[in-house]
Chains A and B, each alone.
Chain A
Amino acid sequence: MQMENIYRQEWGRALSTLIRLLGDFDLAEESLQEAFTIAVERWPQQGVPANPSAWLISTARHKAIDHLRRRQRIELRDNEELIAAAGAGAEYVESLEAPMQDDRLSLIFTCCHPALAQESQVALTLRTLCGLTTEEVARAFLVPVPTMAQRIVRTKQKIAQARISFRVPDHHDLPERLEAVMLVIYLIFNEGYSASAGDNLVRRELCAEAIRLARLLVDLMPDAVDVRALLALMLLHDSRRPTRTGPNNELVPMEEQDRSLWDQEEIREGLALTESALRNGPASSYALQAAIAALHAHAPRATDTDWPQIAGLYAALLRVSPSPVIELNYAAAVGMAHGPEAGLRLLAGFAATRELSDYYLLPAARADLLRRAGRMREAAEAYGEALRLVKSAPERQYLMRRLGEVTGEHSKL
């Protein structure tokens, strides 16, 4: 439906400018909502105006001024300033030729300010920039709606009361602040991509929103090479999404996925962006992860996968952002590149340090290598260990299946 698309396109853009003009999240949201309601009534019949953003902002601004005049009987000075600001915005809005992209950049940096709790950054970004309703955000994160509503209210209060300015950070703060923004985008994507229980429809939306945000950032900050790497990484992961789960919501490992169903357009774009990022920027964590994803995407069949290169990239990734999870992935890649025993030797290091003792992927990775090495009894033990730690249903089913394979029994599900 056309209005749906217009909403998607214009909400974040119009809201950002209104927040700047009015200096008030709630007032901006409220008045924009009213403007949209009018648009929904009129535009299907009268046609969409040549510049929908300008119309929305202008209409919303007038609604806001009405609200402020009504409020003025109760509160005083602040509202005068706001009305003046809203009035001054008139020339800006009417002389609209250039798209108001700067404001969305200000909004995303404001939402992702490090002084806000991470989960608050994520919630506010989704609510304001992406235009998700509070209910949709709550559902995405499996949180009760009142809890999410409170979280968002408190976040806006903190922004107002601590006076977090609505602007793009100064040059010296920019790298650190951009890291925070990219992390929020990455978290949103991972939430949508993860296999844990939840509404599949909403989760698909989250991946789409994260990609949309990254595209916006690439547009508005063309010199930020790492953002391109992040976009590449997400596109490459997203290209596999249709094949990651089977008809019964069971997990399908990469080697069994039907590669003909991988989204080739996303892969093409992802590969190009990965190449560009590696050529023009440092081998950052996102760039290396994108390169690994690119190697998988590049292989026409699972057996064509360039595992030695992947192992090398994981080794590089370990130097850039060491973590137990990456060590695990490195060991698995080494197992594929140089034989299961090599991978198992690396994993043995974990048993020694007792890291990841609650993380089911460690025994699962060990089990997988043992299975490939033909050591079925030990593999069964390791799958059993993983089953004791696994949390989500699809992953549990997958492990049960593997357990059945190594014990020669086929479990009925």
Chain B
Amino acid sequence: MQYLLLIYGQESFWGTITDAEKQKIYKEYGDLIQDMQKAGSYKGGHQLQPIATASTVRVRNGKKTVTDGPFAETKEQLGGYFLVEARDLDEALTLAARIPSVRDGSIEVRPVVANRM
């Protein structure tokens, strides 16, 4: 079964750490992706550009509005995601707990709706 792991964190945190610390975190992500690929769990993932680059679109009563920024102001911002294949929720949670951002942010684990033929 597939789960989307939504990686939330305070964007400002990234600005408070040294380059060396950033490299360490990137390496952790790289190692995690490699492990997941070997296990067949990895189905995709990306880091997202910061929320300053976000735009939100809505259509109400046929009228389209575009606004600057994310859909809502939140304390933690969506910074990336992984799509994983896992046997059950516990396996997905174990994977999520290995994501570096879990230490200072939050990872939402959402089951994906399976397509029915």
B93 touches A163 (CB 8 A): no
A residues less than 8 Å from B87 (CB atoms): 165
B88 touches A164 (CB 8 A): yes
B88 touches A161 (CB 8 A): no
Interface flag for B1 (CB, 8 Å): yes
Interface flag for B70 (CB, 8 Å): no
B90 touches A161 (CB 8 A): no
For chain B, the count of residues having a C-beta within 8 Å of the partner chain is 9
Interface flag for B89 (CB, 8 Å): yes
* Distance in Å: Cβ of A261 to nearest Cβ of chain B: 47
Q: How far is it, in angstroms, between the C-alpha of A170 and the C-alpha of B93 when the chains are bound?
A: 13
* Distance in Å: Cβ of B69 to nearest Cβ of chain A: 30
A162 touches B89 (CB 8 A): yes
A161 touches B93 (CB 8 A): no
Interface set, chain A 101-123, CB cutoff 8 A to B: 113, 115
B90 touches A165 (CB 8 A): yes
B90 touches A164 (CB 8 A): yes
* Distance in Å: Cβ of A23 to nearest Cβ of chain B: 12
Q: By DSSP majority rule, is chain A's interface helix, strand, loop, or mixed? A: loop
A-B contact count (CB 8 A): 22
Interface flag for A404 (CB, 8 Å): no
1/0 per residue, CB under 8 A from A, across B80-117: the answer is: 00000001111001100000000000000101000000
Interface set, chain A 151-185, CB cutoff 8 A to B: 161-165, 169-170, 173
B93 touches A165 (CB 8 A): no
B residues less than 8 Å from A115 (CB atoms): 89, 93
A residues less than 8 Å from B1 (CB atoms): 163
A residues less than 8 Å from B94 (CB atoms): 173
* Distance in Å: Cβ of B106 to nearest Cβ of chain A: 14
B residues less than 8 Å from A169 (CB atoms): 90
Question: In this complex, which of A162, A164, A173 has the most chain B Cβ atoms within 10 angstroms of its Cβ?
Answer: A162
1/0 per residue, CB under 8 A from A, across B29-57: the answer is: 00000000000000000000000000000
A162 touches B90 (CB 8 A): no
A170 touches B90 (CB 8 A): yes
B residues less than 8 Å from A164 (CB atoms): 88-90
Residue of B nearest to A169 (CB): B90
Residue of A nearest to B90 (CB): A165
Question: In this complex, which of B1, B89, B109, B111 has the most chain A Cβ atoms within 10 angstroms of its Cβ?
Answer: B89
* Distance in Å: Cβ of B99 to nearest Cβ of chain A: 17
Q: How far is it, in angstroms, between the C-alpha of A198 and the C-alpha of B43 when the chains are bound?
A: 52
Q: How far is it, in angstroms, between the C-alpha of A113 and the C-alpha of B89 when the chains are bound?
A: 10
A residues less than 8 Å from B111 (CB atoms): 161-163
* Distance in Å: Cβ of A129 to nearest Cβ of chain B: 20
B residues less than 8 Å from A162 (CB atoms): 89, 109, 111
Interface set, chain B 58-78, CB cutoff 8 A to A: none
* Distance in Å: Cβ of A311 to nearest Cβ of chain B: 39
Q: How far is it, in angstroms, between the C-alpha of A362 and the C-alpha of B93 when the chains are bound?
A: 41
Interface set, chain A 99-149, CB cutoff 8 A to B: 113, 115
Q: How far is it, in angstroms, between the C-alpha of A171 and the C-alpha of B89 when the chains are bound?
A: 16
Contact A173/B90 with A161-B111, A163-B1 known, Cβ cut-off 8 Å: yes
Q: How far is it, in angstroms, between the C-alpha of A92 and the C-alpha of B109 when the chains are bound?
A: 35
Q: How far is it, in angstroms, between the C-alpha of A113 and the C-alpha of B88 when the chains are bound?
A: 13
Residue of B nearest to A164 (CB): B89
Return 20 A-B CB contacts under 8 Å, by A number.
A113-B89, A115-B89, A115-B93, A161-B111, A162-B109, A162-B111, A163-B1, A163-B88, A163-B89, A163-B111, A164-B88, A164-B89, A165-B87, A165-B88, A165-B89, A165-B90, A169-B90, A170-B90, A173-B90, A173-B94
CB-CB nearest 6 A-B residue pairs: A165-B88, A163-B88, A162-B89, A164-B89, A162-B111, A163-B1
Chain B residues at the A interface, C-beta cutoff of 8 Å: 1, 87-90, 93-94, 109, 111
Chain A residues at the B interface, C-beta cutoff of 8 Å: 113, 115, 161-165, 169-170, 173
**A115-B89, A165-B90, A170-B90 are known contacts; what are 9 more A-B pairs with Cβ within 8 Å?**
A162-B109, A162-B111, A163-B1, A163-B88, A164-B90, A165-B89, A169-B90, A173-B90, A173-B94
